[in-house]
Amino acid sequence: MQVSKTFKRIIYLELAIPVALLIIGIYHGLMQTVYRAGVLHQTSFLKLDYYQGLTLHGVINALVLTTFFAVAFGHATMAFYFKKEPNKKLMWLSFWLMLTGVLLAAATMLMGKASVLYTFYPPLKAHPLFYLGAALLIVGSWVPLFDWVRMYNAWKKEHPETKTPLAVLGTLINFIIWFMCTLAVAYEVLVLLIPWSMGWTKTVNVNLARTLFWFFGHALVYFWLLPAYIMFYTILPKVAGGKLYSDLAGRIALFLFLIFSIPVGVHHQYSDPTITRGVKFFHGLLTYGVAIPSFITAFTIAASLEYAGRKRGAKGLFGWMAKLPYLNKDKFLFGYFICGLILFIFGGVTGIINSSYSLNNVIHNTAWLPGHFHMTVAGPVFLGIVGMSLYLYARMSGKKIFMPSVNAIIPYLWMIGMLIFSFGMSWGGLRGEPRRTNLGISYLNPESAQFRPDWVPTTTIALLGGVIMFLAGMLFVVVFFGTIFKKKTEEGQLDIPVAEAFHDEKRVPLFDRFKPWLAAMIVIILLAYIPALINVNKNSGPGAPRYNIDNPMPLENKTETVKP
């Protein structure tokens, strides 16, 4: 489909800015493995501190890249399926809000005024502009939802009896989840943290802030994942040369995500005080609820790939696995998707371990955790995002991919690096290596009394994986910008592969409307979160003043001692 210049320009910016920022993000990923393996015994390298780098790494990779892409991919999906472009003014508004937010946050992080990591737990205080930046990024990403809902309603009026295209349904569900969950973090930031960081309010209830953050935090991971799910359901089967096994399965999975994504957040707080075991157990059970749509997806995708393999003439039980277009340069998306899915098998299994109530004691906040979530967010999510960004850009601009053979092997290189990295991290975590820690100074420093020789092998394995991932990541940046600098060879257009369904079930009204599901979602959220908030309120003592990262005395006290 032909699209306007403005539409293209906005999408290009929303795809290319995060890829450029990835250079900083991935550089710090590599550096973390270097420090952690005890290669460096210092607090900073090239003027960038470990924790400053870790904040940049988390914010850029997990918040900026994912949010920009979700918005750009959402615009592309809506325009492509409805054959109509979203409102340009709102597209620009959303873009500028998000960009301003990112610039504010980036400035405070680079100045070292916001080394509080991407979870920004109080009472560590960041610069108020860091919080404001985060809020603007979020608010900017809300804007498109309202326009897309308008487009959807208009379309629905004309096609009351047609199934909503699966990709559209997924995009709307994803942004509804996002809108609901970010309300909590917007409250945390705007009402609790900004006034407190400015010194207008004296203290903040840390447990309340953490609980609000994780109301948002688990749904955040589904906001990362759902664009990848949409690609796996609606694009992958086509690229593989087959069909989507069942269209209805996709709809059911998506609606289950809608109701289960938010009311599980306390599984990130299993080790926290003030929330009772009963509430934690309930959130744990609901987390198993999210496993259902995940299993449905695993089956449906595997069945779709099997169908594709058999259509290409595969025989026997597993023959289809050999018949897929793994290294086909023209179908490079397949490589990005399949590597992501392979990593996701491990990501899913480790995730079930994390959510399993007292098993969480074994691994909470150890290196196991980054080992786990790099196989989700830096696995299917990251590979889906970068692969699709390149695809969308190349098709819309009418350019050929730069170094297509290199491009075809990048996902495999990334996957191999990741498997090594995550193996090292997970094993290290089981041996007690903490996450979010500059191990090189103490635990991995033979000169230190804290030296732990038993962590040398595991951190070294993680370093090896990190180097390979870094290489793959940089090769991607070269391919992406190399493509941008190429000359146009054909008329560009917005083009997304569309998979037909093998079982194309009749429209089931229940799975084609939002109201009942939204009602269920709200009820479950209330059931899960009212008790949690009552707990926090009842069991919390005094609120906390502000602390800088380098001083055990709170900020208020300092000014008090200056005045006699």
Partner 1 sequence: MKIDKFEKRVLIITLSVIGLFIFSLLYAKNKYQTDLPECLPYNKVYTEPKINKIDSTTYQVFSVASMWQFEPGEIYVPVGSEVDFYLTSKDVVHGFNIAQKNVNMMAVYGSINKTTVKFDKPGVYDIVCHEYCGVGHQNMRAQVIVNYPTAK
Is residue 280 a contact residue for Cu ion (CB under 5 A)?
Answer: no
Q: Fill in the per-residue mask, 31 to 50: x = in contact with partner 1 (CB under 8 A), - = not in contact.
A: ------------x-----x-
Catalytic entry in 312, 395, 436, 452: 436
| Residue 283 C-beta: closest distance to partner 1, Å | 11
The length of the chain is 564
76 burial type by CB count under 10 A (0-12 exposed, 13-18 middle, 19+ buried)? buried
What's 121's DSSP letter? -
Is residue 291 a contact residue for partner 1 (CB under 8 A)?
Answer: yes
Q: Which of 7, 15, 18, 29 binds ligand HEM (CB under 6 A)?
A: 29
544 interacts with, out of ligand HEM, Cu ion, partner 1, none, CB within 5 to 8 A per kind: partner 1
Which residues face 124 on adjacent strands? 547
Cα 322 to its chain centre, rounded Å, is: 31
What's 85's DSSP letter? P
377 interacts with, out of Cu ion, partner 1, ligand HEM, none, CB within 5 to 8 A per kind: ligand HEM
Binding positions for ligand HEM, 340-379, rule CB under 6 A: 370, 374, 377-378
Residue spans of alpha helices (H) in 312-403: 332-355, 360-363, 368-373, 382-397
Q: Which of 292, 477, 524, 555 binds partner 1 (CB under 8 A)?
A: 292
Q: Which of 222, 336, 393, 470 binds ligand HEM (CB under 6 A)?
A: 470
Catalytic entry in 28, 36, 57, 218: 218
Q: Cβ closer to ligand HEM: 419 or 499?
A: 419
- At position 340, the amino acid (one-letter code) is G
Q: Catalytic annotation on 57?
A: no
Mapping DSSP to helix (H, G, I), strand (E, B) and coil, where does residue 398 land? coil
Q: Catalytic annotation on 372?
A: yes
**Spatial CA neighbour of 29 closest among 497, 564, 469, 531:** 469
| Residue 365 C-beta: closest distance to ligand HEM, Å | 9
* Angle CA 515–519–524, to nearest 5: 150
Q: What is the 3-state secondary structure (H, E, C) of 455-504?
A: HHHHHHHHHHHHHHHHHHHHHHHHHHHHHHCCCECCCCCCCCCCCCEEEC
Q: Which two tokens stand for residue 179?
A: 């809108």
* Residue whose tokens read 């635990």: 443
Q: Catalytic annotation on 218?
A: yes
Q: Which of 125, 218, 280, 435 binds Cu ion (CB under 5 A)?
A: 218
| Residue 320 C-beta: closest distance to Cu ion, Å | 33
Q: Which residues fall within 8 angstroms of residue 528, CB to CB, at 6 or more apart?
A: 262, 263, 264, 266, 279, 282, 283, 286
**Spatial CA neighbour of 351 closest among 387, 377, 317, 330:** 377
Q: Which of 235, 435, 466, 501 binds partner 1 (CB under 8 A)?
A: 435
Q: Are strands 44-45 and 48-49 parallel, antiparallel or unpaired?
A: antiparallel
Q: Catalytic annotation on 9?
A: no
Mapping DSSP to helix (H, G, I), strand (E, B) and coil, where does residue 199 land? coil
Selected range binding Cu ion among 31-39, 199-207, 214-222, 326-334, rule: CB under 5 A: 214-222
| Residue 214 C-beta: closest distance to Cu ion, Å | 8
Binding positions for ligand HEM, 287-326, rule CB under 6 A: none
Is residue 210 a contact residue for partner 1 (CB under 8 A)?
Answer: yes
Residues forming the site for ligand HEM (CB under 6 A): 26, 29-30, 32-33, 36, 54, 57-58, 61-62, 65, 117-118, 370, 374, 377-378, 382, 435-437, 466, 469-470, 473
- List the catalytic residues: 218, 222, 372-374, 435-436
